[in-house]
Amino acid sequence: MKKIMSIILIVILVIVIGLYVYLRSFIPEYNDEITAPGLKDAVTIERNRYAVPTIIAQNDEDLYFAWGYVNAQDRMFQMEFTRRVAQGRISEFAGESALPKDIFLRAVGFYDIAVQSMENLDPVFKNYLQRYVEGINW
């Protein structure tokens, strides 16, 4: 009986350790030094012990790029989910049961409103948003 309990305990321990190592692999490397295209000056991203970022940039365009990059590191799933909700495309990953929600969201027209808002946006702010998106995509 002790032998069986020991084997079960070892198997559970191996599973827990394997799961921990697997899940840790999804945490981004915060200490890497990277070179991103299009940056005009050096940008520093420091994180406190809770992984909250502080971005130090010499100009606004680089700041928005770094902000997009940091958000993509920390919130990619949330950003993708929010985009699909705004476009009325929840059923693509949630299944056919979410189709009524998609129909409602498309009828409200959040995505169309966002596209129209971008057309009327000041070019300076449009450039900042473009740099943010470039940071996300990078």
Report helix, strand or coil for 73: helix
Asked if pLDDT for residue 9 goes beyond 80, the answer is yes
Give the per-residue pLDDT at 3.
86
Q: Which of 59-63, 117-121, 132-136 has the lowest mean pLDDT?
A: 117-121
The pTM assigned to this predicted structure is 0.75
pLDDT at 127 > cutoff 90: yes
Q: What confidence tens digit (pLDDT) does each residue in 83-114 have? A: 999 999 999 988 999 999 999 999 999 999 99
DSSP 105-128: HHHHTHHHHHHHHHHTS-HHHHHH
**pLDDT at position 37, please?**
80
CB atoms within 10 A of CB 100: 11
Domains and CATH numbers, the chain: 30-137 (1.10.439.10)
pLDDT, one tens digit per residue, over 26-80 is 777 777 777 888 899 999 999 998 889 999 999 999 999 999 999 999 898 999 9
Question: Is the Cβ–Cβ distance between 84 and 93 less than 8 Å?
Answer: yes
14, pLDDT greater than 90: yes
**pLDDT for the residue 23:** 86
